[in-house]
Amino acid sequence: MNEQTIVEKKRNSPPRGAGGAKKMRRYTPEEKLKAVRLYREEGFSMALVSEDLGISKSSVEHWLKAYQLGGESGLQSKTGGRRKARLPALPRTS
């Protein structure tokens, strides 16, 4: 194996620990509300809603619980902005 082959293998391999995992899909509040309404108002089963919309049953269950607790505003995304630093910044010494 030459040096060029080793470099190519490193570029094409997934990051360590990630196992080539997919990014998690984010759903809009409208998509979540559609799933909730299909289940609650239209009477479709959880399995049918999840299959039809291409989402997991656990996501539908989570959205139903959020809707019960907060209505439509409970389906709004709770993530936003930048994350806070895990550790406080150290004072600079010059």
Instruction: Write out pLDDT tens, residues 12-49.
Output: 656 666 555 667 788 999 999 999 999 999 999 999 99
Query: Count of CB atoms within 10 A of residue 20's CB?
Result: 7
- pTM summary value: 0.60
| pLDDT tens-digit readout, 39-88 | 999 999 999 999 999 999 999 999 999 999 999 999 997 765 566 667 77
Residues 6 or more apart in contact with residue 52 via CB below 8 angstroms: 38, 44
Give domain limits for the chain.
25-70
Q: Rounded to whole angstroms, how far apart are CA atoms 28 and 63?
A: 11
Using the Cα atoms of residue 38, residue 39, residue 40 and residue 45 in order, give the sign of their dihedral: positive
> Quick one: DSSP state of residue 17?
T
